Chains A and B, each alone.
Chain A
Amino acid sequence: KAGVTQTPRYLIKTRGQQVTLSCSPISGHRSVSWYQQTPGQGLQFLFEYFSETQRNKGNFPGRFSGRQFSNSRSEMNVSTLELGDSALYLCASSLLANEQFFGPGTRLTVL
Chain B
Amino acid sequence: GEDVEQSLFLSVREGDSSVINCTYTDSSSTYLYWYKQEPGAGLQLLTYIFSNMDMKQDQRLTVLLNKKDKHLSLRIADTQTGDSAIYFCAEIGGQAGTALIFGKGTTLSVSS
Contacts and interface: CB of A to CB of B under 8 A. Distances in A.
Question: Do A and B come from the same complex?
Answer: yes
Interface of A: 4, 31, 33, 35, 42-43, 45, 48, 55-56, 58, 90, 92, 97-105
B102 A102 contact: no
Interface in B15-62: 30-31, 35, 41-45, 48, 50
Contacts of A48: 98-99
Contacts of B104: 42
B66 to A, nearest CB: 20
19 contacts: A4-B42, A43-B43, A43-B102, A45-B96, A55-B98, A56-B98, A56-B99, A90-B42, A92-B43, A98-B30, A98-B48, A98-B50, A98-B93, A99-B48, A102-B42, A102-B43, A102-B45, A103-B42, A105-B42
A90 B37 CA distance: 12
Nearest to B30: A98
Most buried by A among B99, B101, B102, B104: B99
Contact of A98 (B31, B41, B88, B105): B31
A56 B92 contact: no
Question: Is chain A's interface secondary structure helix, strand, loop, or mixed overall?
Answer: strand
Chain B interface extent, by class: 20 to 34
Contacts of B85: none
Most buried by B among A42, A43, A56, A58: A43
Nearest to A55: B98
B12 interface: no
Contacts of B43: 43, 90, 92, 102
B92 A98 contact: yes
A105 B45 CA distance: 15
A42 to B, nearest CB: 5
